[in-house]
Each structure stands twice: as C-alpha cells, then as structure tokens.
Amino acid sequence: MKMRAAILREQGLPRPYADSMPLSVEEVALDGPIEGEVLVEIAAAGLCHSDLSTIEGIRPRPIPMIPGHEAAGIVREVGPGVTGLKPDDHVVMVFVMSCGTCADCAGGRPNLCGSSMAAKAKGELVAGGRRLHMAGDGILNHAAGISCFAEYAVVDQRSVVKVPKDVPLDDAAVFGCAVITGVGAVLNTAAVKEGQSVGVFGLGGVGLNAVMGAAIAGAQPLIAFDVHDDKLALARELGATHAINVTSPTAIEEVKDLTQGGLHHAFDMAGTVKALDMAYATLRAGGSLTSAGLAPADAEMCIKPYDMVSREIRVQGSYMGSCTPTLDVPKYLEYYRQGRLPVNRLHSGNLPLSDINAGFDRLAEVAVVRQLLKPAM
C-alpha cells in the first residue's frame, strides 16, 4: 500500500528545523504484515525527546528511516499466526517487544529483553527485513520496530498492547512511552513507599508522569524541579506539594529544609549530567537516585565512592519504567479512569505531518510537554 510518512535522511542538521527540514513528508510503500505482525492505522503519535535526540544525532540510527516510537492506533490487518488481536482493536505501541522466553523475560524483566535488539540496530523488524520502501524501492529503515510518524505501521504483535475502546486514542498514545517510563520508574524501579520524600528533576512528558506516579504512591513531600515556572505550576496541579526552580542558588538548601535532611528518592528525567549531579546532592543517607533521562552516550557523571558507600546511596537506571507492558499498561489505564493519572493535562496541541519539523523546534525549545502528531489531519 501507499501512505504518507516523515522520513529522516540526515542527522545533526541545525535548528530551526522548520528551515533545515530534517524530516521530509513523502509518499512511501508499506508491505502488508507477515507471520506474527499486524498493520496499524496510526491515530496519534507523541513527539518525544528520544526522537529529538535521534534528529540531533545524539543517538545514531540507520538512515534513511521513519522515526517515532510512541503511538496508539487501530488494527486494520493481522498476519498469519497472530493471536489475541483482530481488525478494529485499539492498541498502544511499546518500544521494547519481549520474547517471553529469555532469561530476562522469565526473570520478570521483559523491558530488558534483547531479542529484537539486533533487528532494531539494522533498522529491520524482528521477523527479518523491512516492510517500508521509498519510491524506486530504495531502503527505508524502521525505528524501534515501530516507525509511527506515518499514516500506518506494520509491527510485531508483541510491540502492541490492546486497550479498551472507551479510552480516547489521543490519551492512550502516551501510555507506550511517557507513562510507562515515568510512572514505572517511580512505582516499579524505585518502588516508592507512602510517606517517602520524592524529587523529580525535569518536567517533560516523562517527568510529569513521574510526578503523577509519585502522587499515586503517596510521596510526602513531593517536590518538582525545573527551570520553567509554567511547568512547575502544572506539576503542583498534578500532585507535587512543592516546586523549586533549579536556577535558585538555594535550591539544595530548600530541599534539605523541606525534607529534614534530604530526599528518599530523586528522579532524573532531564537526561543531563547537571540534573544528575543536583539530584544526587539532594539525597539523604540511604537515599536512591533513579535516572530515566537518556543523556548523550558519551556523558559522564562523577561520584565519590566514599560518599556513596558511607551514606549508603543507591544510583540506578530505569529503562521503560521496569515495566511489563501487558500488566502495567492496564493498571495505569485504571489509574487514568480513576482520575489519578490525567494524561490529557499534558497535551500541548495536535499537528499534521506537514508541521512535524516545527513541532520538534517547539520541543527543543522546551516550550511544550507532549505534542501529538495526527497523520490523518
């Protein structure tokens, strides 16, 4: 079939992207699903900082490619051997598919499953090869096994989670990345307990979900950190008990006063060494630093081992919120239904494919939280 999609041909082009146009909207060919795959019509796709880092060249990927890894849509066709999915089902896409049989999956860590990593590194789907083609049958790579900056996507059945049809697809779209990454880091990776103090550094889509996750966990106090006062105000509305602008020269002292010595849990959602350093500095003895922000691959953080050991500090990463999507997505959707996870508050507007470069300009300027690409617009 033919469809429109946004193609990334060159990484590292200068901003503004509305001028350099790293993404070009073109007609491409998409093969139908083969064994174990499904064809999904994309209803909404989130513009995420992970996509931005790919455009910037911070995360090298095989190009040309169709980016995008966070989306919701409607199943239009299923390939042979697909179970549990049928046409017209609503689904959320997740950027790590799990095989269900390896040591990580069997050990309850499906987010770390490596079964599709080799295929992703080559820009292919796990079943082998590509379903995408440019005009003239040129090579066109998949991103994260999804490539949702397009009208349709063919993905492995294990890259989607079925969701109830009463959940608006615009809201469902962010559950596949922002929600499971932010909420999961708090509830799964760090396992925050009621009454523990929490600080969230960086209030993008993932960070604000971490704030909501910490509120669900009953964190007290729950402190939000950012450089933008409007995002700090939104964090207060979403459950933060306090908000601190990180440009304040007394920010760390304020945290120590509010928590009587420091945080039990600090979450880096900004993906910068500066945020990591500040988050670490706010911890109390026995505290933990959890990072879900993807810093550049060559970034380094300096930690004094004596301090870490003598104060028994834990430093850990969180990938995809340590989630099991088939279990956690339904759980988090229930929080959404209860009004405890109002992800609709994070929407920063919808945009058509033709506006995608300007959308990434707005994301790079930190002027938005979560924009939704609507390919049908």
Q: What is the pLDDT of residue 135?
A: 77
Identify the H or E element spanning 277. helix 273-281
Mean pLDDT of 55-63: 90
* Cα torsion 92, 156, 320, 44: sign: negative
CATH architecture of 2-176+342-373: Alpha-Beta Complex (3.90)
Cβ distance 84 to 35 under 8 Å?
no
Mean pLDDT of 326-341: 97
Mean pLDDT of 69-91: 98
For residue 175, the SS3 value is helix
Q: How far apart are CA 194 and CA 70, in angstroms?
A: 30
Reported as a single tens digit per residue, the pLDDT across 236-263 is 999 999 999 999 999 999 999 999 999 9
Q: What is the pLDDT of residue 349?
A: 96
C-beta pairs of 95-102 under 8 Å, 24+ apart in sequence: 95/69, 95/70, 95/144, 95/145, 95/146, 95/159, 95/176, 95/177, 95/320, 96/319, 96/320, 97/126, 97/145, 97/156, 97/158, 97/159, 98/158, 98/324, 99/158, 100/158
Reported as a single tens digit per residue, the pLDDT across 253-306 is 999 999 999 999 999 999 999 999 999 999 999 999 999 998 888 899 999 999
| pLDDT of residue 367 exceeding 90 | no
* Domain ranges (residues) in the chain: 2-176+342-373, 179-320
Q: How far apart are CA 223 and CA 244, in angstroms?
A: 7
Greatest CA span in the chain, whole angstroms? 65
Instruction: Assign domain 179-320 to its CATH superfamily.
Output: NAD(P)-binding Rossmann-like Domain (3.40.50.720)
Q: What is the pLDDT of residue 123?
A: 95
Reported as a single tens digit per residue, the pLDDT across 2-37 is 999 999 999 999 999 999 999 999 999 999 999 999
Q: What is the pLDDT of residue 298?
A: 87
Reported as a single tens digit per residue, the pLDDT across 114-139 is 888 888 899 999 999 999 999 777 88
Cβ distance 142 to 125 under 8 Å?
yes
Q: pTM for this one?
A: 0.96
- Sequence-distant (6+) residues with CB within 8 A of 54 are 8, 11, 61, 67, 143
For residue 265, the SS3 value is strand
Mean pLDDT of 354-377: 95
Q: What is the pLDDT of residue 256?
A: 96
Among residues of the chain, what percentage have pLDDT more than 90?
Answer: 90
Cβ distance 244 to 281 under 8 Å?
no
Burial of 210 (0-12, 13-18, 19+ CB in 10 A): buried
